[in-house]
Structure 1
Amino acid sequence: MSAVFLGVRHHSPACARLVERTVAELRPAQVLIEGPAEMNGRLDELLLGHELPVAVFSHYRDGERSATSWAPLCDYSPEWVALRAGRAAGAQVRFIDLPAWHPAFAERTNRYADAEARYAEATERLCRRFAVDSSDALWDRLFEVEPDGGLAERLDAYFALVRGDAEADAGDRARESYMAAWVRAAVEAVGDRPVLVVTGGFHQPALRALTASGARDGTDGAGWERGADGWPVVPAPPDGAMAGSFLVPYSFRKLDAFAGYQSGMPSPGYYQQVWEAGPEAAADGLLRVVVERLRARKYPVSTSDLIAARSLAEGLTALRGHPSPARIDVLDGLAGALITDDLDRPLPWTGRGTLAAGAHPAVVEMVAACGGDRTGRLHPQTPAPPLVHDVAAQLAGLALDGGPEATYRLDLTDATDLERSRVLHRLRVLGVPGQVRTAGPTHGVDPVFTERWEARSVLGREAALVEAGAYGATLAEAAAVALTERARSGTAEADGAAEALFDAVLCGTGGLSEQLLEELSSCVRELQVTGPLGEILATALGLWRHDRVFGMARGPLLAAVIDGATEQLLWLLEGARGSSGVDFPRLRAVVAVRDAVLHAPELLSVTHEVAAGIARRIAEDPQAPIDVRGAAFGLARSLGRVPGGPGASGDPARVVRTVARAGADALGDWLAGLFALARDEVTGAAGGDDGCGTDDAAESLVDVLDGLVSALSDEEFLSGLPALRQAFTFFPPRERDRIAARLLERRGVRGSSRSLLRTTADPLLIARARALEESVSRLLARYELDAAP
């Protein structure tokens, strides 16, 4: 007897009922199911008695590629029903698809991601033919609300049509040839007894053709090796790779297309009711739940609104020719009765995708009611990866299992509290919920030595721990691998590289931190954005110089990061081009370079002289951004390599006068760069000789700036004031006071310099008022109206 093929849609109640009925009628000897073949030795684990939904979580990692994948199952998944009903009927049940790590699943995180995008043209034609808006509405119209009679034939015709217009990719072709090998082996093994094959409908036409044409020798005809037992060999991961599969709890929210799920039916809560009680009861339940949710949120819904919604749903069901109410009939009825506002976007169930922000409150509650809030639960005897047991032991041993109301205040200078902190941070970087840090150090040189952690919702904790087991068997190993992958994938934009570095320090990943830091050191030499690269350098340098808590001070592990970041920043800064404006992250990067050259020269391949030479070239480059030129001038003076005699190229007074010719805006931006690196040039904090051959250079620079600003016209002053104010924000109050005192002294005015700094009005407003007064005075003088009567 040949195989019986059932093409199904994943997570379809109608297909699940068809599978259950076919197993009961056919009494097959073998039930073959689209699913991970590596789980065949663990099917008893799947049938332990879990509360669905659950998923088979698979992971893979080698030196070049890492991947994770989920194969979700709920009560009305045809694959689950085939597994359960097949076992109950005494059949041999097997999964027949390739392992999730196989290259056939590259770029795919969901085994049951339907191929709807590949046969969109066919479904669009059918949608037009049946006057429906989406493939989901089409499916309901053709299968979910129709009587079960003739369902198998309708499914065959549907999938033959849509597959006929679509070409499978290389991954699907490999999967289909492998599944066909299992079908041929099963048919050979059972003789005249029936074999039932349950797969996604997209694969069914190809499997029929491949099974009919396949070879009957020692292979399957497509290169898949058979074992001694006659069944296809399950491919093994390459040597040196890590791969595995475990069961994890899943949730209706993760299954819902409106939350981004890639496969099968949307609205899992609604279809759970369809599976359990039928479409009529599901429609009544949805009406009731939506009204209850809206009323609980103080959204006005009257009894007449409920009656109107029910009447509209019944009318739409009849108008559309549905023998039973479909999901869209109920939703459209609710929308027509409850929404009186104009909507700026289509109703979400007319298409597929996540619910957009700003959706109408009634729409939000309808989608939530359809989705449901069920979360699966694994049987207590379900095997778990070693990480789960390691975490449980560590939390118990460090008294971190205090329950949902626990709060932990940790002293990072205490060895025990530091280890507790590291455990909590490792869980954090792995994305395991349960504890949230509400206070603590935020960067490598933050003078904070305490942390506070508070309990949060543990929803999803069990699944997160199992999934984190893909990174390693122990918590320290898993956190280190996760951070390394984060650094490897995120440093192209450098958005999170500095955070990854500091997280590694907080996690205290020990010897494994070397792998992460090596990854960062190789990546920093390729980064093209100065701001984030400067953050990496500042974080690494701060830890190398000052850390007395985390054990990183003067350690060798940060040296490569500091060296690579310094060299790359100097290269980026010399090549920078741009117009006016101040880039504060870039200026902080120049500060980090200065600190590295001054305080960690033994770590750098760039010498003190080379860094100073680069700074001088940038300062004199007219094509460089004006703020970078000012910062480079300050960097060169900080390194003591600028000839600074009066009139020399490094004389601040001469350079300021040259920059001022470009306007007050340019002067303010250049000063911002200078002050970010060398405020002592103005305040004279260093006192006397500035180390570059110029006596009292700081005071003379104040004089020069005062003279330049005083000579500005009112219009020029107003134009340049924002840039000048921005530049002087680098000075703390005490240094501003010293500048104010110098200005009073220049004018021979006696009084408190602090009074100049305590104005309650906006300086821009004062300047505009002064300009207005002078404009009025000029008008009065023009018309000779300024003379006293």
Structure 2
Amino acid sequence: MTTAADVAAVAPEAPAGTAARPAGPPGAPSSPPRGPWLLGVRHHGPGSARAVREALDAARPRAVLIEGPPEGDALLPLAADPGMRPPVALLAHVRDDPGRASFWPLAEFSPEWVAIRWALAHDAAVRFIDLPAAHSLAAREEPEESGQDGHGAVPGVEFDDRPEEDGGGSAALRVDPLAVLADAAGYDDPERWWEDVVEHRAAGESDAFAPFQAVADAMAALREEYGDAGHRHDLVREAHMRLQLRAANKEFGDDVAVVCGAWHVPALAGRPPALTADRALLKGLPKVKAELTWVPWTHRRLARRSGYGAGIDSPGWYGHLFDAADKPVVRWMTKAAGLLRDEDRPVSSAHVIEAVRLAEALAVMRGRPLAGLTETTDAIRAVMCEGSDVPLSLVHDRLVVGDVLGEVPEGAPAVPLQRDLTRQQRTLRLTAEAAVRELDLDLRKDTDAARSRLLHRLRLLGVGWGEPAVSRGSTGTFREGWRLRWEPELSVKVAEAGIWGTTVLAAATAKAQSQAVSAKALADITALAERCLLAELPDALPVVMRCLADRAALDSDVGHLAQALPALARTLRYGDVRGTGTAALTDVAAGLAERICVGLPPACTGLDAEGAAEMRGHLDAVHTVTALLDRPAGERGGDSSAALRARWAHVLGKLAGRDSVAGVIRGRAVRLLLDDGRLDEEETARLMGLALSPGNPPADAAAWVEGFAGGASGSGMLLIHDQRLLGLVDAWLTEVAPDAFTDVLPLLRRTFSAYEAGVRRTLGELVRRGPAGPAGGGPRAGTEAAAPGFGPALDPARADAVLPILHLLLGIDQEDAPTEATTP
């Protein structure tokens, strides 16, 4: 089996003094070499973690130095708390600017985490020795410079691939040490090379210090060849590490172990630069006041595909390799089979046996010491997934990456807002989870209403823990659906929101008041008023309402008013469900509606195609919400709801009959009046005939058809059941000139392509049959030359035929059923 010691054969001989060498051959039992012990690792590597534990058990150092921010030393004892469960991360942020932050993530299989837990368990001193977070945060004032998801640099990250500029302004040379070593060993994949050489190394198969010596020799050769490899910031970090190592040597002698990225080992071994040279490198560095704490992390954020540059491709797989004491392939296949069975896939024990055999055979054929992730994935695809990548993607998402979310004890430092949020989460039984969780709330229940308020307040603060979703239980306003997922970056968002207050309620109130004062658009304030009611912020609502009234009084743009009105109507609707007083909102909404009724007809005149399409959207929105503005008759400050709807119908009538209004708006106005029963079928047919008359330009007529029959739900059904309207459209189309038809075709395609397939098929059948019905037969009795199955009105006899079935379904006796015929 290939061992980690084989790494030494990859690179040329390293210069003397690179690292302490073990006494005797690597495979022979020997006493630990003389310290300090430099344990170069790969971050988040289970093989490195096992090797670190073996080396520490063999050396028994009095002090353990770890690559990390020294400000976190006070937080290290919390790693031994029973409530601390990795993956977790050290979060450092600027005290006065929480948005400038850095993470140092640690998983259970991270070598640094293993070293911390070992030191705490064996009463050894443990310290961080990397460049302080106060300097690294100050060096990067803009998040965009970091390339780390907008959360600053991560000094604990090895093999940083961010470009750095040299003095001449050109991009410096950057080297991936793993890629160089893998290429020298004949591998085209650095991950596979590392897995073969390190991750598949069995515990205790060689001297505990031999792997670290081999890696140190290889890194020394690389640094001799490439220098700093384009990562000049590492020189400053390594200077600080050397200073800390010198201080530890004075305190503990050589009985010190250092756990750091393998790339840094050559800079810490051998003869270090003069003390004054290291101090000169650190002199004059910018500095800020930084605060640190522990926050939960996730396997998904450890994955490189999530955008976190220090990640690994398969944290779930690496965690399995670290936990599996023996037979890792068998145990992995068992996990995959259990997952697929939970998803109702037919996977048996025979599948597991065959998958293990196939994975081991693939490893032998490919010359690998043990079946790795590639072989196990290929075996699962072939045996358990029957060659399909669809169930395989589930295995990758749930097992290879995983949704593990760490936990942090309550004793960890946190901003007051985070403590209040944690308390409310516990009270409302809302657990932060890395996996997506669907939550259906019934606002009539106190607990669900409180959950809704908390989630809405967090959204107002910019903490996107929950996103609104369609409720599966009901479409009523007393139901709410949410999709919850906790991401580690939300801890930074909570810290940022801490500037607004120490509790979620106080912070949301303060931010809402600030947004109301600074809002520029009327629609923004109305949307904010809706959010304040949903979040139940009674102290913020008066400020928002005052700003809303002032802005509405000054804004004369009908488009702005129309954009603002729907949010107010929704606010009134939800406010009623939640028992919130909305009298002030009712006055403002009624005033906006009245101003829209006055200003809409002139605003719809002389619009181009784009402006007409936008105004049609405003028309639909205002029409929908007029029915929600429930205002009793005789109430001060405006018309009753019935009077307002009548006035709105009058406005639609003006739009429908005014030739200067764009065709799409006139057609839409006619359709809205028809649907509300304020326009009979005869008048509708007359208006359509005028719009589609040969005297009108074909493009304007096509726009009228789009406004009348396009977009809205059920538009196609109207043409199916009203043969006169369909005949008018059909007759107009047959009379359009060929050259003009080419121009109106895009509008017609957009209109009719929005219909459901069944509606389009039925319309085609009706047009094919023609008004006289199928060949050889005349029109049916009781119809006006309609196609079979369709007519201008209801057929009472055919409608009554379904009543016995309905009585049976509803459990109504025939004797108790009403005897009246269906109203035509």
TM-score (norm 2): 0.57
Q: Pick from 42, 62, 65: which aligns with 2:75?
A: 42
Shift of residue 441, structure 1, vs aligned partner: 12
Counterpart of 2:359 in 1: which secondary structure?
helix
Q: 1:6: Cα distance to partner? A: 3.6
2:284 match: 223
Shift of 1:297: 4.0
CA distance in 1, matches of 2:546, 2:175: 46
Please state whether the residue corresponding to 1:198 is helix, strand or coil.
Answer: strand
Question: In the alignment, is residue 390 of structure 1 matched against residue 420 of structure 2?
Answer: yes
Question: Out of 325, 331, 350, which is 2:377 matched to?
Answer: 331
1:177-236, Cα deviation, whole Å (9 max, x unpaired): 2453243144045335355443334555667799626626976544249xxxxxxxx841
Residue 655 of structure 1 corresponds to 660
Is 2:41 the counterpart of 1:8? yes
Q: Is the 8 A contact 2:131 2:240 kept in 1?
A: no
In 2, Cα distance between equivalents of 1:292 and 1:94: 41
2:159 matches 1:115: yes
Seen in structure 2, the aligned counterparts of structure 1 residues 91 and 487 have a Cα distance that, compared at 3 Å, is farther
Deviation at 1:554, TM superposition (A): 4.6
Matches of 2:214 and 2:112 in 1, distance apart?
19
Aligned residue among 374, 394, 401 for 1:364: 394
Q: Percent identity, please.
A: 22
Is 2:300 aligned against 1:247?
no
Distance 1:35 1:427 in 2: 32
For 2:213, the equivalent position in structure 1 comes to 153
In the other structure, the counterpart of 1:236 is 289
1:284-299 to structure 2, matched below 5 A, reads: 284-299=330-345
Partner amino acid, structure 2, of 1:156: A
Is the contact between residue 665 and residue 704 of structure 2 (CA under 8 Å) also seen in structure 1?
no
CA contact (8 A) 1:587 1:676 kept: no
8 Å Cα contact 2:78-2:84 kept in structure 1 = no
Is residue 457 of structure 2 the alignment partner of residue 426 of structure 1?
yes
In 2, Cα distance between the equivalents of 1:305 and 1:438? 39
Equivalent position of 2:817 in the other structure: none
Query: Superposition pairs for residues 237-386 of structure 1, below 5 Å?
Result: 237=290, 244-257=291-304, 262-278=309-325, 281-301=327-347, 305-338=351-384, 340-341=386-387, 359-362=389-392, 364-365=394-395, 368-371=398-401, 374-379=404-409, 381-386=411-416
Compared with structure 1, are the counterparts of its residues 539 and 130 closer, same or farther at alpha carbon in structure 2 (3 Å cutoff)? same
- Between the aligned partners of 1:721 and 1:765, the Cα distance in structure 2 is 24
Q: What secondary structure, in the 3-state scheme, does the structure 2 residue paired with 1:56 have? A: strand
User: In the TM superposition, what is the alpha-carbon distance from 1:16 to its structure 2 partner?
Assistant: 1.6
Once the two structures are superposed, the pairs formed by residues 446-525 of structure 1 within 5 Å of their partners are 451-452=478-479, 468=494, 470-472=496-498, 473-479=502-508, 502-509=530-537
**Are residues 409 and 287 of structure 1, via their aligned partners in 2, closer, same or farther at CA, if it must alter by over 3 Å?**
closer
* One-letter amino acid of the counterpart of residue 191, structure 2: D
Structure 2 residue identity aligned to 1:190: N
Q: Which amino acid aligns with 2:45?
A: S
* Correspondence 1:322-721 to 2 at 5 A: 322-338=368-384, 340-341=386-387, 359-362=389-392, 364-365=394-395, 368-371=398-401, 374-379=404-409, 381-387=411-417, 389-391=419-421, 400=428, 410=443, 422-423=453-454, 425-426=456-457, 430-432=463-465, 438=471, 451-452=478-479, 468=494, 470-472=496-498, 473-479=502-508, 502-509=530-537, 535=563, 538-539=566-567, 550=580, 554=584, 582-583=613-614, 586-588=617-619, 655=660, 667=663, 669-672=664-667, 706-709=689-692, 711=694
Answering whether residue 125 of structure 2 is matched by residue 91 of structure 1, we say yes
CA distance in 1, matches of 2:47, 2:397: 21
Task: Name the structure 2 match of 1:58.
Answer: 91
* Structure 1 position 405, deviation (Å): 14
1:360 alignment partner, SS class: helix
Question: Residues of 2 paired with 1:391 and 1:166: CA distance?
Answer: 48
Residues of 2 paired with 1:94 and 1:79: CA distance?
A: 10
Is the CA contact 1:387–1:469 (under 8 Å) kept in the aligned structure 2? yes
Q: Which residues of structure 2 form unaligned runs of 5+? A: 1-33, 163-173, 432-436, 553-557, 627-646, 726-758, 777-824
Alpha-carbon separation, structure 1, partners of 2:96 and 2:127: 35
Aligned CA distance change for structure 1 residues 248 and 66 (closer, same or farther; 3 Å): closer
Shift in Å at residue 140 of structure 1?
0.6
What's the secondary structure of 1:284's corresponding residue? helix
Contact persistence 2:98–2:492 (CA under 8 A):
no
Instruction: Report matched runs for 1:65-76 at 5 Å.
Output: 66-67=99-100, 69-76=102-109
> Is contact 2:454-2:535 (8 Å) kept?
yes
Aligned match of 1:603? none
The one-letter amino acid paired with 1:471 is A
Match of 1:184 among 243, 261, 266: 243
Q: Which residue of 2 aligns with 1:621?
A: none
Q: How many residues align structurally?
A: 632
Q: Hey, what's the Cα distance between the residues in 2 that align with 1:740 and 1:772?
A: 11
Q: Structure 1 residues 653 and 202, CA, compared in 2 at 3 Å: closer, same or farther?
A: same
Query: How far did 1:91 drift?
Result: 2.9
| Deviation, structure 1 residue 12 | 0.8
Q: Distance in 2 between matches of 1:302 and 1:466?
A: 45
Letter in 2 for 1:271: Y
Query: Is the alpha carbon distance of 1:459 and 1:154 closer, same or farther for their aligned partners in structure 2, counting shifts above 3 Å?
Result: same
Counterpart of 1:187, as a letter, is: R
Task: Judge conservation of contact 2:87–2:108 (CA < 8 Å) in 1.
Answer: no
Choose which of 137, 141, 157 in structure 1 pairs with 2:196.
141
The equivalent residue for 1:723 is 706
1:547-591 CA-partner distances (Å, limit 9, x unpaired)? 7765576589x99xx9xxx9xx99x99999657994577445996
* Corresponding residue SS for 2:105: strand
Q: Which amino acid aligns with 2:314?
A: S
Kept after mapping to 1: 8 A contact 2:65/2:258: yes
Q: Which moved more, 1:419-428 or 1:268-277?
A: 419-428
Cα 1:491/1:11, change in 2 over 3 Å = farther
Secondary structure in structure 1 of the residue aligned to 2:259 = strand
Evaluate the alpha carbon distance shift between residue 765 and residue 58 of structure 1 in structure 2; reply closer, same or farther with a 3 A threshold. Answer: same
Q: 1:133 to 1:477 in 2, by over 3 A?
A: farther
Q: Deviations over 1:368-401 (max 9, x none)?
A: 34446655444465455433543466689xx856
Question: What SS does the aligned partner of 1:215 have?
Answer: helix
Distance in 2 separating the partners of 1:385 and 1:124: 42
Quick one: distance in 1 between partners of 2:566 and 2:278? 66
TM-score under structure 1 normalisation? 0.59
Q: Gaps (5+ residues) in structure 1?
A: 226-233, 238-243, 344-358, 443-447, 525-529, 596-633, 645-649, 660-666, 686-698, 743-758, 777-789
